[in-house]
Amino acid sequence: MKKITLAHGSGGTLMHDLIKDLFLKHLDNPFLNRLGDSALIDTRKKKIAYTTDSFVVNPIFFPGGDIGKLAVCGTVNDLAVCGARPQYLSCGMIVEEGFDYTDLEKITLSIKAACRQSGVNIVTGDFKVVEKGAADKIFINTSGVGEVFEKAHLSISRIRPGDKIIVSGPIGDHGAAVLLARGELKFRSRLLSDCAPLSGLISSIICRDIKFMRDPTRGGLATTLNEISLASGYNISIDESCIPVRGPVMALCEILGLDPLYMANEGRVILIVSSGSASRILSRMRRHTLGRASRIIGEVERRRTKRVYLKTMVGGARILDMLMGEQLPRIC
Amino acid sequence: MKYIDEFRDNKIAKHLSRAIFDRARPLKSVNLMEVCGTHTMSICKFGIRRLLPENINLISGPGCPVCVTPKAYIDTAVEFSRLPGIIVGTFGDMMRVPGSYSSLTEERSKGRSVKVVYSALDAVEIAEKNPGKKCVFLGIGFETTSPTVAASLLYAKKKRLKNFFVYPGHKVIMPAMKALVEDGEVNIHGFLCPAHVSAIIGTIPYGIITEKYKIPCVIAGFEPIDILQGILMLVGQIGSKHSKVENQYKRVVKRSGNKKALDLMARVFSVEDSEWRGIGMIPKSGLTLSKAYARFNARNAFSLPHIKTRPDKGCICGSVLKGVNTPLDCRLFGRTCTPEKPIGACMVSSEGTCAAYYQMRP
């Protein structure tokens, strides 16, 4: 089987062949094809969102996605939740010597598919190979820019008591799918990661009544809501019985003593919207494939102790804190 | 039955909560101790205190295995991880517990081989896959976990594994409950007895608490409806001045317990006096490996440097574990001692009383 060697990253003919036969072949677009040291982008004085993210997921292939899809979706989603239409992405890869060529091709193809789905191009890139053991298989960094929609007025300072909190679908799928894919637990499940580009869903609903958006990735829903509460100063209360969680995710969490509220998501968005517009935005979200299971899960409260409260399904209540350390399995 | 939703039903919970309010109305202040850490956690997770009248105080007992494991045990576990060629296998909860000078998390970040496992059998597997290394499993927990460790030792013996060891720190619950009652410092009106421990030991052992000490005992499951019903049964007994062992968790707990597990434990373990963090020595409250399994005992197999265990300054975990104080009485609570930077063990484990109280702070 063809392997990636240190020479593939050395700048010589092997590297040029790799760029031509793999990356340009699949990620072809006029910006990238120029192979300049930078991509030249005309922004015409528009407001631009700009972000970067690195991807080190283990395992690199998991049900519902792989590190390539994740690398595109992660950056696309960071742009989209800022009210931007993602357009141009950079992609830097660090690959461990001995990596399978076919795996690299699979990853490149899923980068291609995710780019197509979210309407972006990889316009510049970098490829490095390091000695065996100096990296774990493959790490990817992507940066992205996108034009901010004129209709977008997103700011945490616009959040007011009474605003509603919407989540775009079941939570915890990604965290649970990756955990299962590690194979240490010997459970079998058909659960897929929720990894998906949110740009389509968001561009279909973007309007002034949306005050803030964030994608609840690491740390999950609970941590994201705590960040919002801390930054806005207002308490937030959510209703456990309204939060969508799939059966397999719930079951896995019950067995391992984990909490789905802290599990990572890669294709979900949390919205804070004015209370009057909530049902209208919700019904628009439900028209989009990625927003079918959207729910209003709670609201912003008047009190300003910067806490997030969970109304439990049996009618009790508790503070929902940020994630502390890693989620660890309990013993009894 | 769909899943566990039936035991989290909002309407039934409200109904039980109302019944508890009614029955508790004529009573003065009632102290109920939930012995098991999983109860503590469930009470916190589902916000059950909000469903109870003010004259019912829930006191968390000594049933969180991580919390009652003495500091000297952690110090020794840290020393094991520092020995060359050793892999320490542990349940996740133990990772962050602070010892005198270090924790297992700290040691792992320094490159020592510390692996989180989900069961003792996973640790045996690690030993099998790494014949050139020695795997030391940290055996802590109550009767719920000790049969599984016993099973792993049985397997290790059958396979003639020479590189699997258990560092025994197991505890049994009854001597601790008796010690608490006899201590007299705590005023307990009723015990909410552990669910899974009782699945192993059965209902009979609690008889001594209800007969000799006249304190009502109710074994309850871990779901919110179980807990509320258990509390209702306890309040009922207290109101009618009865003290008997009642079993709310009949769907799992049988009167004579799990004979197979008890036999297994009797083969592999023998009873010893054991130190409980914050409480002190309790006679016959711990399990070590029996003679037939002594060669798997990590305590005998390795020589470690002498470690001087440093006492916790200002930490009142001991009296919190006994139910004498609440975490709010501790001057470290929420200030220098938080779940992020725990000082006492009760803050480390999510089952710990302090961690549970931290979630309830105003």
- DSSP collapsed to 3 states, chain A: CCECCHHHHCCCHHHHHHHHHHHHHHHCCHHHHCCCCCCCCCCCCCCEEEEEEEECCCCCEECCEEHHHHHHHHHHHHHHCCCEEEEEEEEEEEEECCCEHHHHHHHHHHHHHHHHHHCCEEEEEEEEEECCCCCCCEEEEEEEEEEECCCCCCCHHHCCCCCEEEECCCCCHHHHHHHHHCCCCCCCCCCCCCCCCCHHHHHHHCCCCEEEEECCCCCHHHHHHHHHHHHHCCCEEEEHHHCCCCHHHHHHHHHHCCCHHHCCCCCCCEEEECHHHHHHHHHHHHCCHHHCCCEEEEEECCCCCCCEEEECCCCCEEECCCCCCCCCCCCC
Are residues B93 and B237 located together in one domain of the fold?
Answer: no
For residues B43-49, average pLDDT:
90
Establish if B4 belongs to a structural domain: no
Pairing of strands A121-130, A84-96: parallel
Q: Which tens digits make up the pLDDT trace of B314-337?
A: 888 888 877 788 888 999 998 999
Whether B57 is in a domain gets the answer yes
Q: Is residue B17 part of a domain?
A: no
Fold identical between A6-148 and A156-319? no
pLDDT at B189: 95
Q: What local confidence, expressed as pLDDT, does residue A71 receive?
A: 97
The answer to whether the CB atoms of A251 and B3 lie below 8 A apart is yes
B340 lies in some domain: yes
Query: Are B100 and B164 contained in the same domain?
Result: yes
Residue B3 has pLDDT above 70, yes or no: no
Q: Do B38 and A332 touch (CB under 8 A)?
A: yes
Residue A283: other Cβ atoms inside 10 A: 12
Is residue A298 within 8 Å of A238, Cβ to Cβ? yes
- Domain residue ranges of chain A, discontinuous segments joined by +: 6-148, 156-319
In this structure, which amino acid lies at residue B65?
Answer: P
Is the Cβ of B137 closer than 8 Å to some Cβ of chain A?
no
Q: Does B93 touch chain A (CB under 8 A)?
A: yes
Same structural domain, B144 and B269: yes
Task: Verify whether the Cβ–Cβ distance A185 to B118 is below 8 Å.
Answer: yes
- Selected residues 187-216 of chain A with any CB under 8 Å from a CB in chain B: none
Are B167 and B261 members of one domain?
Answer: yes
Chain A and chain B share a number of CB contacts under 8 A equal to: 96
Q: How far is A330 from chain B (nearest CA, A)?
A: 6
Supply the range of the domain harboring residue B237. Answer: 28-64+184-247
Q: What is the pLDDT of residues A220-251, one digit of tens each?
A: 999 999 999 999 999 999 999 999 999 999 99
The residue of chain B with its CA nearest to that of A329 is B92
What DSSP state is assigned to residue B311? P
- Is residue B73 located within the same domain as residue B146? yes
Which CATH number covers residue B288?
Answer: 3.40.50.11740
Note whether B50 contacts A: Cβ–Cβ < 8 A.
Answer: yes
Which of A250, A316, A325 comes nearest B96 by C-beta?
A: A325
Percent of chain B clearing pLDDT 70 (strictly above): 98
Q: Which chain A residue shows the shortest CA-CA distance from B50?
A: A316
- A316 vs B contacts (CB less than 8 Å): 46-51, 224
Q: Are residues B297 and B323 in the same domain?
A: no
Same domain, B42 and B101: no
Residue B156 and residue B263 in one domain: yes
Instruction: Look at B46 and A319 and tell me if their CB atoms are within 8 Å.
Output: no
Q: How far is A317 from chain B (nearest CA, A)?
A: 5
CATH architecture of A156-319: Alpha-Beta Complex (3.90)
Band (pLDDT 50/70/90 cuts) for residue A330 is very low
What is the C-alpha to C-alpha distance for residues A115 and A75, in angstroms, rounded to an integer? 11
The neighbour count for residue A40, using CB atoms within 10 Å, is 9
Q: Look at the domain A6-148 and name its fold.
A: 60s Ribosomal Protein L30; Chain: A; (3.30.1330)
Contact criterion met (CB below 8 Å) for B294 and B157 = no
A183 interfaces chain B, CB cutoff of 8 Å: no
- Report the amino acid identity of residue B222: F
In DSSP terms, which residues pair with B195 in a beta bridge? none
In which band, very low, low, confident or very high, does the pLDDT at B361 lie, cut at 50, 70 and 90?
A: low
> How buried is residue A55: exposed, middle or buried, by Cβ count under 10 Å (0-12/13-18/19+)?
buried
**Contacts of residue A247 in chain B, CB cutoff 8 Å?**
3
Q: Which of residues 226-255 of A touch B (CB under 8 A)?
A: 241, 247, 250-251, 254
pLDDT in tens, B54-102: 999 998 888 888 888 999 999 999 999 999 999 999 998 898 888 999 9
ipTM confidence = 0.79
pLDDT band at residue B299 under the 50/70/90 scheme: very high
What confidence tens digit (pLDDT) does each residue in A89-117 have?
A: 999 999 999 999 999 999 999 999 999 99
Task: Provide, rounded to the nearest whole percent, the portion of chain A with pLDDT above 70.
Answer: 97
Q: Kindly report the number of other CB atoms within 10 A of residue A302's CB atom.
A: 9
| Interface contact B224, partner A, CB < 8 A | yes
State the pLDDT confidence band at B312, using cuts at 50, 70 and 90: confident
B310 part of a folded domain: no
**Closest chain A residue to the Cα of B361, Cα to Cα:** A319
- Are B137 and B275 within one domain? yes
Whether A42 shows a pLDDT value over 90: the answer reads no
pLDDT at A329: 44
| Count of domains forming chain B | 3
Which residues in chain B have their CB less than 8 angstroms from residue A241's CB?
A: 10
Do residue B71 and residue B165 come from a single domain?
Answer: yes
A330 chain-B contacts, CB cut-off 8 A: 38, 41, 91-93, 349-351
- Between B210 and B327, whose confidence is greater? B210
The better pLDDT of the pair B343, A96 is held by A96
What is the average per-residue pLDDT within A163-177? 96
pLDDT at B352: 81
Question: B8 to chain A, minimum CA–CA distance in Å?
Answer: 6
Q: In chain B, how many H helices and how many E strands?
A: 16, 11
